[in-house]
Homo-oligomer: A and B are copies of this chain.
Amino acid sequence: MSDPKSFHMSPEEFRRQGHAVVDWIADYHSRIESFPVLSRVKPGEIRAQLPPNAPEHGEAFDAILADIDRVVLPGITHWQSPHFYAYFPANASGPAILGDLVSAGLGVQGMLWSTSPACTEVETHVLDWLVPMLGLPENFLSTSSGGGVIQDTASSATLCALLAARERSTKFASNHEGCDGRLVAYCSTQTHSSIEKAMKIAGMGSDNLRHIEVDKNFAMRPEALASQIERDIHAGLTPSFVCTTVGTTSSNAIDPVREIASICRDHNLWLHVDSAMSGTAALCPEFRFINDGVEFADSYTFNPHKWMFTNFDCNVFYVAERKHLIETLSILPEYLRNQATESGAVIDYRDWHIQLGRRFRSLKLWFVIRHYGIEGLQHHIREHVRLAQEFSGWVRSDERFEIAAPVLLNLICFRLRSGDRINQDQANQLLMERLNASGDLFLTHTKLDGKFTLRLCVGQTNTQARHVERAWKRILEETEKLESS
Contacts and interface: CB of A to CB of B under 8 A. Distances in A.
B177 A179 contact: no
A90 interface: yes
Interface string A39-54: 1010111110010011
Nearest to A347: B43
Contact of A50 (B122, B192, B194, B200): B122
A64 interface: yes
Interface residues on A, range: 35 or more
Given A18-B98, A64-B95, A178-B205, A129 B75 contact: no
B179 A331 contact: no
Quick one: copies of this chain in the complex?
2
A63 B370 CA distance: 10
A265 interface: no
Nearest to A167: B200
Interface stretch (A113-121, A255-263, A288-296): A113-121
Contacts of A43: 113, 117, 340, 343, 345-346
A471 B92 CA distance: 43
Nearest to A130: B54
A217 interface: no
Contact of A455 (B87, B206, B335): B335
A57 B124 CA distance: 21
A372 interface: yes
A104 interface: yes
Interface in A1-57: 2, 7-15, 17-19, 21-30, 38-39, 41, 43-47, 50, 53-57
17 contacts: A12-B26, A14-B26, A21-B101, A22-B22, A24-B102, A50-B122, A54-B130, A57-B376, A58-B373, A61-B98, A76-B119, A100-B101, A156-B354, A156-B355, A177-B206, A178-B205, A192-B333
